[in-house]
């Protein structure tokens, strides 16, 4: 399991922007991440079309977004979905991010 803390630049609503971007991609039948599960306030779970696993996203205090990446496969197989999520963040929000911190945890 990998836990990611994504810190946006001041004044940028990263969590809201992530959710809006996923909705835009879904409506246009584009993108590889899609939302699954029940709708919850300040929480979302995304799956990837190609890579097994999921990304749980939560709004933290001060605009920080917390993400947890997991897979049902062997823990060493988390890297493809991890790489895809980081690429998504960089492509769509790179200029609005201040820092990304990654913590490696055993499940």
For residue 106, pLDDT over 90 is answered with no
pLDDT for res 107 = 61
- Tokens 């933290």 found at: 60
Query: CB–CB of 8/104 below 8 Å?
Result: no
Query: CB–CB of 10/101 below 8 Å?
Result: no
Residue 101 CB coordination number (10 Å): 10
Residues 34-93: tens digit of each pLDDT: 999 988 999 999 999 999 999 999 999 999 999 999 988 777 788 999 999 999 999 999
* Whole-number Å distance between alpha carbons of 59 and 69: 15
pTM tops 0.85, yes or no? yes
**Domain around 32:** 2-104
Work out the average pLDDT over 90-100: 96
User: How many domains are contained in the chain?
Assistant: 1
**At 54, which CATH number?**
3.30.310
For residue 3, pLDDT over 70 is answered with yes
- Give strand pairing partners of 97: 8
* Alpha-carbon separation of residue 16 from 12, 63, 77, 103 (angstroms): 9, 10, 29, 23
Residues 6-32: tens digit of each pLDDT: 999 999 999 999 999 999 999 998 889
């Amino acid at each position: 399991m990998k836990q990611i803390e994504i810190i946006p630049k001041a004044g940028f609503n990263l969590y809201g922007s992530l959710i809006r971007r996923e909705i835009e991609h879904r409506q246009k039948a584009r993108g590889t991440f899609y939302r699954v599960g029940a709708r919850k306030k300040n929480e979302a779970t995304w799956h990837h079309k190609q890579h097994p696993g999921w990304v749980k996203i939560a709004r933290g205090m001060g605009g920080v977004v917390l993400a947890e990446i997991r897979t049902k496969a062997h823990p060493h197989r988390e890297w493809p979905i991890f790489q895809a999520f980081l690429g998504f963040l960089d492509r769509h929000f790179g200029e609005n991010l201040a820092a990304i911190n990654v913590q490696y945890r055993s499940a």
